[in-house]
Amino acid sequence: MRIILASGSPRRRELLTSLGLAFEVFKPDVDESHSEREEPAGLCSRLSRLKAEAGVRAFPGSLVISADTIVVIDGRILGKPLDHEDARGMLRTLQGREHEVMTGLSVGLDGKITTHVERTLVRFRALSEAEIEEYASSGECDDKAGAYAVQGKGSLLVEGITGDYFNVVGLPVCRLGLMLHDFGINILTGSH
């Protein structure tokens, strides 16, 4: 079966490749704006579903995987930083505290699309202003929800994780395996 990853994320590509899946990449054009009143779980679920719908339309008969990851603290959504100052502000907000990473994960084939929101708690250690500046200047913050990459130098900021580590990277692989199983794909055996 042809599998389409409806995401431009290099981390998601790496994770799918590590699972041994053969897939093609499709970057859906989806408006990711949201209102201040939209609940975080609803936002990542809606965006993931929109990406899956675009993939299903573009590749009929193919299985489509899409995801959207956000960082939430005090009910506030931290998206990708706009610039260096925005990244520093996000890191100041997260330092010494716990936040939630949510990924809306969708799997679609023909007329059926299933969506699940995976949640993981992440606790940052206390950071000095110099550490915040150094990490914000590293470039690793760019294009990352919450201005950090747990799989890179950002791991030095994380004191603990409760839940799926891969969700924090951007693709909850355990949940994906369960969802794909519902579509007749067993990653462990390689059958589909």
Distance CA 29, CA 47 (A): 11
Distance CA 178, CA 101 (A): 20
Q: Contact, 141 vs 80, CB < 8 A?
A: no
29, 31, 68, 142: which one is catalytic? 68
Q: Which residues of 148-159 are buried (b: 16+ CB within 10 A; e: fewer)?
A: bbbbeebeebbe
Q: Is 29 a catalytic residue?
A: no
Q: Contact, 142 vs 83, CB < 8 A?
A: no
Q: DSSP letter for 126, please.
A: P
Q: Which positions ≥6 away from 6 have C-beta within 8 Å? A: 26, 27, 28, 51, 52, 54, 55, 64, 65, 66
Hey, what are 23's tokens? 């897939």
Judged by DSSP in three states, 141 sits in coil
Please list the active-site residues: 68
